Amino acid sequence: MKKYNFNAGPSVLPREVIEETAKAVLDFNGSGLSILEISHRSKDFQAVMDEAVALFKEILHIPEGYSVVFLGGGASLEFCMIPYNFLEKRAAYLNTGVWAKKAMKEAKNFGETIEVASSADANYTFIPKGYTVPSDVDYLHITTNNTIYGTEIKEDLNVDVPLIADMSSDIFSRPVDVSKYICIYGGAQKNLAPAGATFVIIKNDALGKVSRTIPTMLNYQTHIDNGSMFNTPPVLPIYSAMLTLRWIKKLGGLHVMEQRAIEKANMLYGEIDRNKLFVGTAAKEDRSRMNICFVMQPEYKDLEADFLKFAGERGMVGLKGHRSVGGFRASCYNAIEKEDVQALIDCMQEFEKMHS
Protein backbone atom coordinates (compact mmCIF):
# COMPACT_ATOMS: atom_id res chain seq x y z
CA MET A 1 0.00 0.00 0.00
CA LYS A 2 1.26 3.46 -0.88
CA LYS A 3 1.94 5.63 2.15
CA TYR A 4 0.99 9.31 2.21
CA ASN A 5 3.33 11.08 4.62
CA PHE A 6 1.71 14.09 6.28
CA ASN A 7 4.06 14.14 9.29
CA ALA A 8 4.96 17.57 10.67
CA GLY A 9 8.62 16.66 11.04
CA PRO A 10 10.80 14.83 10.37
CA SER A 11 8.78 15.06 7.24
CA VAL A 12 8.41 13.92 3.66
CA LEU A 13 11.37 14.41 1.32
CA PRO A 14 11.48 14.15 -2.47
CA ARG A 15 11.75 10.49 -3.46
CA GLU A 16 14.82 11.12 -5.59
CA VAL A 17 16.56 12.77 -2.63
CA ILE A 18 15.88 9.73 -0.46
CA GLU A 19 17.15 7.38 -3.18
CA GLU A 20 20.32 9.36 -3.84
CA THR A 21 21.01 9.64 -0.13
CA ALA A 22 20.52 5.88 0.23
CA LYS A 23 23.07 5.29 -2.53
CA ALA A 24 25.55 7.58 -0.79
CA VAL A 25 25.10 5.66 2.44
CA LEU A 26 26.45 2.62 0.62
CA ASP A 27 29.05 4.37 -1.55
CA PHE A 28 29.57 8.12 -1.58
CA ASN A 29 30.73 9.58 -4.88
CA GLY A 30 32.45 6.37 -5.96
CA SER A 31 34.87 6.64 -3.04
CA GLY A 32 34.19 3.17 -1.67
CA LEU A 33 33.19 4.83 1.60
CA SER A 34 29.77 5.61 3.03
CA ILE A 35 28.65 9.21 3.47
CA LEU A 36 28.23 8.10 7.10
CA GLU A 37 31.98 7.61 7.46
CA ILE A 38 33.52 10.07 5.02
CA SER A 39 35.78 12.71 6.56
CA HIS A 40 34.15 16.11 6.70
CA ARG A 41 37.59 17.49 5.83
CA SER A 42 37.76 15.51 2.59
CA LYS A 43 37.63 17.23 -0.80
CA ASP A 44 34.50 15.26 -1.65
CA PHE A 45 32.53 16.56 1.31
CA GLN A 46 33.91 20.08 1.03
CA ALA A 47 32.40 20.11 -2.46
CA VAL A 48 29.03 19.13 -0.94
CA MET A 49 29.21 21.94 1.61
CA ASP A 50 30.21 24.47 -1.03
CA GLU A 51 27.38 23.46 -3.35
CA ALA A 52 24.79 23.47 -0.55
CA VAL A 53 25.78 27.01 0.45
CA ALA A 54 25.90 28.18 -3.17
CA LEU A 55 22.44 26.75 -3.90
CA PHE A 56 21.07 28.32 -0.72
CA LYS A 57 22.29 31.71 -1.88
CA GLU A 58 21.16 31.22 -5.48
CA ILE A 59 17.64 29.93 -4.81
CA LEU A 60 16.88 32.46 -2.06
CA HIS A 61 18.64 35.30 -3.96
CA ILE A 62 20.68 36.08 -0.85
CA PRO A 63 22.50 39.39 -1.37
CA GLU A 64 26.18 40.05 -0.80
CA GLY A 65 27.19 40.53 2.81
CA TYR A 66 25.35 37.47 4.14
CA SER A 67 26.72 34.09 5.24
CA VAL A 68 25.03 30.69 5.34
CA VAL A 69 26.11 28.18 7.96
CA PHE A 70 24.96 24.69 8.90
CA LEU A 71 24.95 23.81 12.60
CA GLY A 72 23.59 21.18 14.96
CA GLY A 73 21.18 21.62 17.83
CA GLY A 74 18.01 22.45 15.93
CA ALA A 75 16.09 25.72 16.08
CA SER A 76 15.85 25.27 19.84
CA LEU A 77 19.57 25.99 20.21
CA GLU A 78 19.14 29.07 18.00
CA PHE A 79 16.59 30.38 20.53
CA CYS A 80 19.64 30.86 22.76
CA MET A 81 22.22 31.77 20.10
CA ILE A 82 20.09 34.58 18.65
CA PRO A 83 20.02 36.70 21.82
CA TYR A 84 23.60 35.70 22.68
CA ASN A 85 24.76 37.25 19.39
CA PHE A 86 22.24 40.04 18.78
CA LEU A 87 20.59 41.17 22.03
CA GLU A 88 22.42 44.00 23.79
CA LYS A 89 19.65 45.76 25.75
CA ARG A 90 16.15 44.80 24.66
CA ALA A 91 14.43 42.73 21.99
CA ALA A 92 10.88 42.43 20.71
CA TYR A 93 9.09 39.14 20.09
CA LEU A 94 5.84 38.35 18.30
CA ASN A 95 4.16 35.51 20.19
CA THR A 96 2.34 33.33 17.67
CA GLY A 97 2.75 29.86 19.18
CA VAL A 98 4.71 27.39 21.25
CA TRP A 99 8.02 27.87 19.42
CA ALA A 100 7.79 31.66 19.45
CA LYS A 101 7.11 31.49 23.19
CA LYS A 102 10.12 29.23 23.74
CA ALA A 103 12.35 31.59 21.75
CA MET A 104 11.15 34.49 23.87
CA LYS A 105 11.80 32.57 27.09
CA GLU A 106 15.46 32.04 26.16
CA ALA A 107 15.91 35.70 25.22
CA LYS A 108 14.88 36.78 28.72
CA ASN A 109 18.19 35.39 29.97
CA PHE A 110 20.10 38.04 28.00
CA GLY A 111 18.17 41.28 28.32
CA GLU A 112 14.78 42.91 28.41
CA THR A 113 12.25 41.10 26.24
CA ILE A 114 9.12 42.80 24.94
CA GLU A 115 6.12 40.83 23.71
CA VAL A 116 4.75 43.16 21.04
CA ALA A 117 1.61 41.09 20.50
CA SER A 118 0.21 37.63 21.19
CA SER A 119 -2.64 35.41 20.05
CA ALA A 120 -2.26 33.08 23.05
CA ASP A 121 -5.69 34.01 24.45
CA ALA A 122 -7.26 32.63 21.27
CA ASN A 123 -5.12 29.47 21.35
CA TYR A 124 -2.90 30.98 18.65
CA THR A 125 -5.54 30.67 15.95
CA PHE A 126 -4.51 33.91 14.21
CA ILE A 127 -1.48 36.11 13.53
CA PRO A 128 -1.65 39.39 15.51
CA LYS A 129 -1.79 42.56 13.43
CA GLY A 130 -1.66 46.29 14.05
CA TYR A 131 0.92 46.10 16.84
CA THR A 132 3.68 48.62 17.44
CA VAL A 133 7.34 47.67 17.52
CA PRO A 134 9.47 49.97 19.75
CA SER A 135 12.06 51.79 17.68
CA ASP A 136 14.87 51.19 20.16
CA VAL A 137 14.90 47.38 20.23
CA ASP A 138 17.90 45.42 18.99
CA TYR A 139 15.63 43.28 16.83
CA LEU A 140 12.11 41.95 16.27
CA HIS A 141 11.84 38.14 16.28
CA ILE A 142 9.04 36.37 14.42
CA THR A 143 8.13 32.75 13.74
CA THR A 144 6.82 32.71 10.19
CA ASN A 145 4.97 29.40 10.30
CA ASN A 146 3.39 27.84 13.37
CA THR A 147 3.29 24.09 12.88
CA ILE A 148 1.11 23.26 15.87
CA TYR A 149 -1.66 25.77 15.19
CA GLY A 150 -1.55 26.04 11.41
CA THR A 151 -0.97 29.78 11.01
CA GLU A 152 1.59 31.47 8.77
CA ILE A 153 3.04 34.88 7.99
CA LYS A 154 3.17 34.61 4.20
CA GLU A 155 4.83 37.95 3.37
CA ASP A 156 7.97 39.64 4.66
CA LEU A 157 7.19 42.26 7.29
CA ASN A 158 8.13 45.89 6.80
CA VAL A 159 9.57 47.13 10.09
CA ASP A 160 12.08 49.82 10.99
CA VAL A 161 14.15 47.62 13.29
CA PRO A 162 16.42 44.63 12.55
CA LEU A 163 14.26 41.57 11.77
CA ILE A 164 15.00 37.95 12.71
CA ALA A 165 12.85 34.99 11.65
CA ASP A 166 12.51 31.34 12.57
CA MET A 167 11.56 29.83 9.20
CA SER A 168 11.96 26.20 10.22
CA SER A 169 8.78 24.99 8.58
CA ASP A 170 8.22 27.24 5.57
CA ILE A 171 11.71 27.98 4.25
CA PHE A 172 11.91 27.43 0.46
CA SER A 173 8.11 27.40 0.13
CA ARG A 174 7.93 30.99 -1.15
CA PRO A 175 10.24 33.80 -2.25
CA VAL A 176 11.81 35.74 0.64
CA ASP A 177 13.43 39.16 0.57
CA VAL A 178 16.46 38.21 2.65
CA SER A 179 17.65 41.84 2.70
CA LYS A 180 14.83 42.62 5.16
CA TYR A 181 16.39 40.33 7.78
CA ILE A 182 19.60 40.24 9.78
CA CYS A 183 19.11 36.54 10.50
CA ILE A 184 16.91 33.69 9.24
CA TYR A 185 17.23 30.27 10.81
CA GLY A 186 15.50 26.94 11.14
CA GLY A 187 15.67 23.20 11.60
CA ALA A 188 16.11 21.46 8.27
CA GLN A 189 13.70 18.59 8.94
CA LYS A 190 10.63 20.10 7.27
CA ASN A 191 11.34 21.31 3.74
CA LEU A 192 15.03 20.62 3.39
CA ALA A 193 16.65 17.53 4.91
CA PRO A 194 16.50 14.79 7.54
CA ALA A 195 16.67 15.89 11.16
CA GLY A 196 20.09 16.87 12.46
CA ALA A 197 21.02 20.02 10.55
CA THR A 198 20.13 23.63 11.28
CA PHE A 199 20.54 26.38 8.71
CA VAL A 200 21.36 29.97 9.66
CA ILE A 201 21.51 32.93 7.27
CA ILE A 202 23.36 35.82 8.89
CA LYS A 203 23.97 39.42 7.84
CA ASN A 204 27.66 39.73 8.52
CA ASP A 205 27.74 43.34 9.69
CA ALA A 206 25.00 42.67 12.27
CA LEU A 207 27.48 40.67 14.33
CA GLY A 208 29.99 42.03 16.84
CA LYS A 209 27.63 44.58 18.37
CA VAL A 210 27.05 42.98 21.77
CA SER A 211 29.36 43.69 24.70
CA ARG A 212 29.18 40.25 26.31
CA THR A 213 31.73 37.50 25.79
CA ILE A 214 30.15 34.76 23.70
CA PRO A 215 31.31 31.15 24.17
CA THR A 216 33.18 29.93 21.10
CA MET A 217 30.61 27.38 19.94
CA LEU A 218 27.70 29.79 20.44
CA ASN A 219 29.34 32.60 18.47
CA TYR A 220 28.07 32.81 14.89
CA GLN A 221 31.35 34.38 13.83
CA THR A 222 33.14 31.14 14.76
CA HIS A 223 31.08 29.16 12.28
CA ILE A 224 31.27 31.80 9.54
CA ASP A 225 35.05 31.98 9.86
CA ASN A 226 35.34 28.19 9.69
CA GLY A 227 32.82 27.53 6.93
CA SER A 228 30.56 25.46 9.23
CA MET A 229 33.56 23.21 9.94
CA PHE A 230 34.72 24.43 13.35
CA ASN A 231 33.53 21.08 14.66
CA THR A 232 32.22 18.08 12.76
CA PRO A 233 29.04 19.18 10.98
CA PRO A 234 25.98 16.94 10.46
CA VAL A 235 27.34 15.43 7.26
CA LEU A 236 24.43 13.27 6.08
CA PRO A 237 21.68 15.90 6.52
CA ILE A 238 23.80 18.52 4.74
CA TYR A 239 24.27 16.12 1.82
CA SER A 240 20.51 15.51 1.66
CA ALA A 241 19.90 19.27 1.90
CA MET A 242 22.15 19.80 -1.11
CA LEU A 243 20.14 17.21 -3.06
CA THR A 244 16.84 18.84 -2.04
CA LEU A 245 18.14 22.23 -3.18
CA ARG A 246 19.08 20.70 -6.53
CA TRP A 247 15.51 19.36 -6.76
CA ILE A 248 13.99 22.77 -6.00
CA LYS A 249 16.20 24.42 -8.60
CA LYS A 250 15.36 21.77 -11.19
CA LEU A 251 11.61 22.26 -10.69
CA GLY A 252 11.94 26.01 -11.21
CA GLY A 253 12.76 27.61 -7.86
CA LEU A 254 10.69 29.36 -5.23
CA HIS A 255 7.94 30.78 -7.45
CA VAL A 256 7.14 27.21 -8.50
CA MET A 257 7.31 26.00 -4.89
CA GLU A 258 4.92 28.76 -3.84
CA GLN A 259 2.45 27.97 -6.61
CA ARG A 260 2.53 24.28 -5.68
CA ALA A 261 1.96 25.19 -2.03
CA ILE A 262 -0.99 27.45 -2.86
CA GLU A 263 -2.62 24.82 -5.08
CA LYS A 264 -2.29 22.04 -2.49
CA ALA A 265 -3.50 24.24 0.37
CA ASN A 266 -6.48 25.48 -1.65
CA MET A 267 -7.44 21.91 -2.49
CA LEU A 268 -7.42 20.72 1.11
CA TYR A 269 -8.91 23.83 2.73
CA GLY A 270 -11.63 23.73 0.09
CA GLU A 271 -12.58 20.22 1.16
CA ILE A 272 -12.41 21.07 4.86
CA ASP A 273 -14.78 24.00 4.30
CA ARG A 274 -17.14 21.89 2.16
CA ASN A 275 -17.19 18.67 4.19
CA LYS A 276 -19.92 18.60 6.84
CA LEU A 277 -17.74 16.56 9.23
CA PHE A 278 -14.71 18.86 9.49
CA VAL A 279 -13.84 22.45 10.35
CA GLY A 280 -10.58 24.38 10.12
CA THR A 281 -9.04 25.77 13.30
CA ALA A 282 -7.02 28.77 12.05
CA ALA A 283 -8.39 32.15 10.98
CA LYS A 284 -8.89 31.94 7.21
CA GLU A 285 -6.66 34.92 6.40
CA ASP A 286 -3.79 33.37 8.38
CA ARG A 287 -4.11 29.73 7.34
CA SER A 288 -0.79 28.00 6.86
CA ARG A 289 0.04 26.43 3.53
CA MET A 290 2.47 24.09 5.24
CA ASN A 291 0.50 22.73 8.20
CA ILE A 292 -3.23 22.41 7.59
CA CYS A 293 -5.02 21.94 10.91
CA PHE A 294 -8.63 20.90 11.31
CA VAL A 295 -10.97 19.13 13.73
CA MET A 296 -14.31 17.36 13.69
CA GLN A 297 -17.40 19.54 13.82
CA PRO A 298 -18.67 19.53 17.44
CA GLU A 299 -21.58 17.21 16.67
CA TYR A 300 -19.17 14.65 15.15
CA LYS A 301 -16.44 14.93 17.79
CA ASP A 302 -16.82 11.27 18.76
CA LEU A 303 -15.74 10.23 15.24
CA GLU A 304 -12.19 11.59 15.59
CA ALA A 305 -10.55 8.27 16.49
CA ASP A 306 -12.61 6.49 13.84
CA PHE A 307 -11.42 8.85 11.12
CA LEU A 308 -7.77 8.47 12.13
CA LYS A 309 -8.15 4.69 11.94
CA PHE A 310 -10.03 4.93 8.65
CA ALA A 311 -7.38 7.19 7.13
CA GLY A 312 -4.55 5.03 8.46
CA GLU A 313 -6.01 1.97 6.76
CA ARG A 314 -5.81 3.91 3.49
CA GLY A 315 -2.15 4.81 3.88
CA MET A 316 -2.44 8.23 5.52
CA VAL A 317 0.45 8.75 7.96
CA GLY A 318 1.00 11.52 10.51
CA LEU A 319 -2.48 13.07 10.49
CA LYS A 320 -2.99 13.22 14.25
CA GLY A 321 -2.94 16.82 15.48
CA HIS A 322 -0.57 18.05 18.14
CA ARG A 323 -1.59 16.98 21.64
CA SER A 324 -2.20 20.61 22.67
CA VAL A 325 -4.74 21.13 19.87
CA GLY A 326 -6.12 17.69 19.02
CA GLY A 327 -7.90 16.92 15.79
CA PHE A 328 -5.87 16.54 12.63
CA ARG A 329 -2.87 18.12 10.93
CA ALA A 330 -1.91 17.49 7.32
CA SER A 331 1.57 18.87 6.74
CA CYS A 332 1.90 19.75 3.06
CA TYR A 333 5.58 20.54 2.68
CA ASN A 334 7.27 20.98 -0.69
CA ALA A 335 7.72 17.27 -1.40
CA ILE A 336 4.03 16.45 -0.94
CA GLU A 337 2.40 16.08 -4.34
CA LYS A 338 -1.10 17.16 -5.33
CA GLU A 339 -1.94 13.49 -5.81
CA ASP A 340 -1.18 12.89 -2.14
CA VAL A 341 -3.50 15.70 -1.11
CA GLN A 342 -6.19 14.38 -3.43
CA ALA A 343 -5.88 10.96 -1.82
CA LEU A 344 -6.58 12.55 1.57
CA ILE A 345 -9.53 14.47 0.14
CA ASP A 346 -10.94 11.25 -1.33
CA CYS A 347 -10.56 9.65 2.08
CA MET A 348 -12.41 12.52 3.78
CA GLN A 349 -15.23 12.34 1.24
CA GLU A 350 -15.57 8.59 1.61
CA PHE A 351 -15.76 8.93 5.38
CA GLU A 352 -18.37 11.66 5.01
CA LYS A 353 -20.57 9.39 2.90
CA MET A 354 -20.36 6.70 5.56
CA HIS A 355 -21.81 9.13 8.10
CA SER A 356 -24.42 10.89 5.99
CATH of the domain at 206: 3.40.640.10
Look at residue 315 in the predicted model and tell me its pLDDT.
98
Both 149 and 26 in a single domain? yes
Catalytic residue among 138, 166, 170, 286: 166
To the query of whether residue 166 is one of the catalytic residues in this protein, the response is: yes
Both 126 and 179 in a single domain? yes
Cα 309 to Cα 328: distance, rounded to the nearest angstrom: 12
Tell whether 1 is covered by a domain: no
Q: Are 81 and 183 in contact (CB under 8 A)?
A: no
Tell whether 4 is covered by a domain: no
Long-range contacts of 186-191 (CB under 8 A, 24+ apart): 186/75, 186/78, 187/9, 187/74, 187/75, 188/237, 188/241, 189/9, 189/10, 189/11, 190/8, 190/9, 190/11, 190/147, 190/290, 190/331, 190/333, 191/11, 191/244, 191/290, 191/333, 191/334, 191/335
Both 243 and 263 in a single domain? no
Tell whether 3 is covered by a domain: no
To the query of whether residue 346 is one of the catalytic residues in this protein, the response is: no
Tell whether 340 is covered by a domain: yes
Both 117 and 227 in a single domain? yes
Mode of pairing for the β-strands spanning 163-166 and 151-152: unpaired
Which of 196, 219, 251 marks a domain boundary?
251
Domain that holds residue 78: 15-251
Both 241 and 158 in a single domain? yes
- Rounded to the nearest 5 degrees, what angle is found at the Cα of 33, between the Cα atoms of 28 and 38? 80
Cα 185 to Cα 79: distance, rounded to the nearest angstrom: 10
Tell whether 9 is covered by a domain: no
Residue 323, amino acid: R
Both 232 and 161 in a single domain? yes
Q: Which residues pair with 140 in a beta bridge?
A: 92, 163
To the query of whether residue 99 is one of the catalytic residues in this protein, the response is: yes
Look at residue 324 in the predicted model and tell me its pLDDT.
82
Which of 251, 271, 303 marks a domain boundary?
251
Which of 230, 251, 272 marks a domain boundary?
251
Residue 209, amino acid: K
Tell whether 85 is covered by a domain: yes
Both 164 and 203 in a single domain? yes
Both 247 and 263 in a single domain? no
Q: Is the peptide bond before 233 cis (omega within 30 degrees of 0)?
A: no
Q: Where is 151: in which H helix or E strand?
A: strand 151-152
- Indicate the pTM of the whole model: 0.97
Within a 13 Å sphere around the CA of 306, how many CA atoms are in the beta-carbon half? Answer: 12
Write the CATH number for 304: 3.90.1150.10
Cα 44 to Cα 131: distance, rounded to the nearest angstrom: 49
Both 43 and 181 in a single domain? yes
Catalytic residue among 190, 203, 264, 320: 190
Both 286 and 316 in a single domain? yes
Per-residue pLDDT of the chain (356 residues; tens, 9 = 90+): 899 999 999 999 999 999 999 999 999 999 999 999 999 999 999 999 999 999 999 999 999 999 999 999 999 999 999 999 999 999 999 999 999 999 999 999 999 999 999 999 999 999 999 999 999 999 999 999 999 999 999 999 999 999 999 999 999 999 999 999 999 999 999 999 999 999 999 999 999 999 999 999 999 999 999 999 999 999 999 999 999 999 999 999 999 999 999 999 999 999 999 999 999 999 999 999 999 999 999 999 999 999 999 999 999 999 999 988 899 999 999 999 999 999 999 999 999 999 98
Tell whether 155 is covered by a domain: yes
Both 229 and 281 in a single domain? no
Both 316 and 206 in a single domain? no
DSSP per residue over 176-219, as a string? --GGG-SEEEEESTTTTSSTT-EEEEEEGGGSS---SPPPGGG-
Cα 216 to Cα 183: distance, rounded to the nearest angstrom: 19
Secondary structure of residue 305 in the 3-state scheme: helix
Per the structure, how many domains does the chain have? Answer: 2
